[in-house]
């Protein structure tokens, strides 16, 4: 048996001992096509934190239950497990650790470093020490890792700690050869620190340089992936970033030169499956047929964290084998959201009609409106909240259009009020004659006479009363 070696990165964990294969060929129990068929639960963008804790934990817990029920062989969390750095004693951290532990007690788990603002470097290190039945492999550097074992991880004895460590990592960015006994080969490209790229090549060239470097890196994995696939070992790439042309959860296409990947660059790896995180909407791209088929897919976020998000939420179930690859979305109980938008002041009658048209129980409702600054106090927020009392929660967002005031150049230098009115009328394109007439009456007539004239009955009003 080969001697166990220490994994790179100072993790302190050890490689699993791999039995020698007598004939020198990659082989597991049974025929190669059976031995190298793998079921993968692909979860992403959990965003555990105070803001989204209930949504994240409800949906992730349901996903873990379903992954166990489906008896997946391995689980992948492709970045942004947290919404930001968390204290270990924080409720969000404790609940995330408990769910990942539950998942890792069922099967090996790979966790990828996500966006640096969501998962600052080192955030995932604690998952290496969970003490679960299967070790959690944290991919926080570019490299490859092989899932080892000659049988399903579910057949392992719960007391056999060495057998439960099924991950073998490459020393550098890739393996020189496919590790004997590998059941699946994962190529890990964690989120890239764009600031480091900008520091090296300059801010203006950073986006294009990053895309070019990643494209060259991805092409370099085609050889090892081809060798693995020829041996019947499923190949998967796992990354976190934006694909040019993908669509966000709010329906916005991502175009431009500041995105990490193109579908062409991802397909060039030769990997059967590319598991992506970062974009919160599930979407996929495919090419080839049969055993040459390749698939790129975002799992999307595990739950619905913002209003206006389109598409279903869940995780992906991947099935990989020598004869091809496929994936499907397994839904989670993500919250339902409803947006009610008014162009002007909210109309309570219309609001009540919208409420009667559908069931609000368990729905998060957002009401938006746009009013002028002088009408802002006419919006009855209390009445709106009362009309939506049956909703799970209500969010009110009013947009106030400020009053635009135009100043006439040099108006402060004019002496008379009449000249100032003329200057203002010219600047604002207002007919000045009626204003000047009123100004003259105000300045030449006694206040009592103005009031008496205003209160005096008009001839037409008097004739109407007499009739």
> Which residue's entry shows tokens 């008896």?
71
**CB-CB contact of 373 with 403 (8 Å):** yes
> What was the pLDDT predicted at 359?
83
Closest CA to 311 of 400, 223, 250, 233: 250
* pLDDT in the model for residue 75: 97
Read off the pLDDT of residues 79-93 as tens digits, 9 standing for 90 and up: 999 998 888 889 999
Rounded Cα–Cα distance for residues 265 and 124 (Å)? 28
Please return the burial class of 41, using the count of CB atoms within 10 Å of its CB with bins 0-12, 13-18 and 19+: buried
Q: Which of 309, 310, 312, 282 is nearest to 296 (CA)?
A: 282
**Paired strand residues for 319:** 39, 326
Angle (deg, nearest 10), helices 53-69 and 91-104: 10
**What confidence score (pLDDT) does residue 204 get?**
57
Both ends of the chain: CA-CA distance in Å? 116
Asked if pLDDT for residue 158 goes beyond 60, the answer is no
Q: Which CATH number fits domain 38-149+165-331: 3.60.21.10, 1.10.287.70, 3.10.129.10, 3.40.1280.10?
A: 3.60.21.10
- Of 63-77, 113-127, 197-211, minimum mean pLDDT range: 197-211
Q: Tell me, what's the pLDDT at 195?
A: 58
* Helix or strand (DSSP H, E) at 136: strand 136-139
Q: Is 66 helix (H, G, I), strand (E, B) or coil?
A: helix
**Mean pLDDT, to the nearest integer, of 85-111?**
94
For the segment 57-68, the average pLDDT, to the nearest whole number, is 97
In the chain, pLDDT over 90 holds for what percent of residues?
45
Residue the block writes with tokens 């009328």: 425
* Averaged pLDDT, 42-69: 96
What is d(CA 301, CA 298) in angstroms, rounded to the nearest whole number? 9
Cα–Cα dist 294/312, whole Å: 23
Question: 439 or 236: whose pLDDT is higher?
Answer: 236
Query: Cβ of 128: how many Cβ atoms within 10 Å?
Result: 17
Q: What is the mean pLDDT of residues 353-373?
A: 86
Q: What is d(CA 112, CA 123) in angstroms, rounded to the nearest whole number?
A: 11
* DSSP strand pairing (324-331 vs 336-341): unpaired
HSE-CB of 54 using CA atoms within 13 angstroms: 3
- Please state, in angstroms and as integers, the Cα–Cα distance from residue 225 to each residue in 150, 237, 261, 270, 353, following that order: 20, 10, 19, 6, 58
| Range of weakest confidence among 49-58, 229-238, 351-360 | 351-360
The residue with greater pLDDT, 152 or 452, is 452
Confidence of residue 197 (pLDDT cuts 50, 70, 90): low
Please give the pLDDT value at position 255.
80
280 by DSSP, 3-state: which?
coil
Contact of 42 with 78, CB cutoff 8 Å: yes
Closest CA to 282 of 236, 324, 318: 318
Confidence band for 208, pLDDT divided at 50, 70 and 90: low
Share of the chain above pLDDT 70, in %: 82
Per-residue tokens: 37 = 């068929």
Higher pLDDT, 466 or 391: 391
Residue 216 confidence (pLDDT) above 80: yes
**More confident position, 439 or 192:** 439
Are the C-beta atoms of residues 365 and 395 closer than 8 Å to each other? yes
| Residue matched to tokens 């609000």 | 360
Residue 19 exposed, middle or buried by CB count within 10 Å (0-12, 13-18, 19+): exposed
Q: Which of 40-54, 108-122, 356-370 has the highest mean pLDDT?
A: 40-54
Kindly report the number of other CB atoms within 10 A of residue 131's CB atom: 10
Q: What is the distance between the alpha carbons of residues 136 and 200, in angstroms, rounded to a whole number? A: 33
Residue 29 phi, psi (nearest 5): -60, 135
**pLDDT score of 157 more than 70:** no
Tokens of 366: 């957002």
Smallest CA-to-CA distance from 271 within 343, 346, 348, 219 is with 219
Q: What is the arithmetic mean of pLDDT over 413-440? A: 86
Which of 97-106, 115-124, 455-464 is predicted least confidently?
A: 455-464
Query: What sign results for the dihedral spanned by CA atoms 25, 28, 29, 30?
Result: negative
Residue 460: the pLDDT is 64
What residues pair up with 232 in beta bridges, in sequence order? none
Report the relative pairing of strands 273-277 and 283-287 from DSSP bridges. Answer: unpaired
Compare 9 and 411 and report the one with higher pLDDT.
411
12-20 mean pLDDT: 29
Contact 215, 265 (CB under 8 A): yes
Q: Does residue 12 register a pLDDT over 70?
A: no
| pLDDT beyond 50 at 20 | no
Note the pLDDT of residue 463. 53
Token digits of residue 393 = 């929660």
Cα three-residue angle 32-266-248, rounded to 5 degrees? 120
- How much is the pLDDT for 196? 56
- How do residues 120-140 score in pLDDT, each as one tens digit? 888 899 999 988 999 999 999
Residue 297 pLDDT > 80: yes
Mean per-residue pLDDT of the chain: 83
Q: What is the pLDDT of residues 307-346, one digit of tens each?
A: 888 889 999 999 998 788 999 999 999 999 988 899 888 9
Q: In this predicted model, which residue has the larger pLDDT, 386 or 329?
A: 329
Mean pLDDT of 164-191: 91
Structure-token match 């393996």, residue found:
175
Residue identified by tokens 């203006």 is: 204
């Amino acid at each position: 048996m080969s001697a166990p070696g220490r994994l790179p990165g100072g993790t302190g964990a050890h490689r699993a001992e791999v039995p020698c294969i007598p004939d020198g060929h990659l082989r597991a129990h049974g025929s190669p096509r059976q031995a190298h068929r793998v079921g993968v639960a692909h979860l992403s963008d959990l965003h555990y934190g105070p803001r989204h804790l209930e949504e994240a934990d409800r949906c992730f817990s349901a996903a873990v239950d379903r992954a166990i029920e489906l008896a997946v062989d391995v689980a992948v969390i492709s970045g942004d497990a947290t919404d930001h750095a968390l204290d270990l004693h924080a409720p969000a951290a404790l609940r995330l650790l408990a769910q990942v532990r539950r998942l890792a007690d069922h099967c090996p788990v790979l966790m990828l470093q996500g966006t640096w603002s969501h998962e600052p470097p080192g955030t995932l290190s604690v998952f290496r020490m969970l003490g679960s039945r299967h070790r959690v492999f944290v991919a926080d550097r570019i490299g490859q890792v092989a899932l080892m074992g000659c049988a399903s991880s579910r057949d392992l004895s719960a007391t056999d700690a060495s057998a439960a460590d099924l991950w073998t990592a490459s020393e550098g960015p890739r393996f020189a050869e496919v590790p004997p006994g590998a059941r699946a080969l994962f190529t890990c490209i964690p989120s890239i620190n764009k600031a480091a790229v900008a520091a090296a090549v300059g801010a203006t060239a950073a986006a294009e340089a990053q895309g070019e470097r990643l494209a060259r890196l991805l092409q370099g994995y085609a050889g090892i992936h081809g060798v693995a696939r020829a041996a019947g070992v499923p190949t998967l790439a796992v990354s976190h970033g934006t694909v040019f042309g993908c669509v966000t959860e709010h329906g916005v296409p991502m175009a431009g030169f500041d995105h990490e990947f193109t579908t062409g660059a991802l397909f060039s790896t030769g990997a059967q499956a590319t598991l992506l995180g970062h974009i919160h909407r599930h979407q996929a791209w495919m090419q080839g047929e049969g055993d040459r088929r390749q698939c790129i897919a975002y799992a999307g976020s595990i739950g619905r964290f913002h209003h206006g998000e389109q598409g279903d939420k869940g995780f992906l179930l991947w099935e990989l084998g020598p004869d091809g690859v496929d994936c499907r979305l397994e839904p989670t109980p993500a919250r339902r959201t409803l947006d009610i938008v008014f162009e002007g002041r909210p109309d309570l009658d219309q609001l009540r009609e919208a409420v009667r048209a559908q069931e609000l129980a368990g729905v998060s409702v957002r009401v938006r409106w746009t009013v002028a600054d002088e009408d802002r106090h006419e919006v009855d927020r209390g009445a709106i909240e009362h009309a939506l009392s049956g909703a799970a929660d209500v969010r009110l967002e009013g947009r106030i259009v400020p009053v635009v005031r135009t100043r006439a150049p040099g108006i402060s230098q004019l002496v008379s009020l009449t000249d100032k009115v003329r200057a203002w009328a010219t600047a604002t394109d207002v007919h000045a004659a009626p204003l000047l007439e009123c100004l003259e009456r105000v300045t030449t007539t006694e206040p009592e006479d103005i009031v008496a004239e205003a209160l005096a009955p008009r001839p037409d009003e008097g004739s109407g009363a007499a009739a």
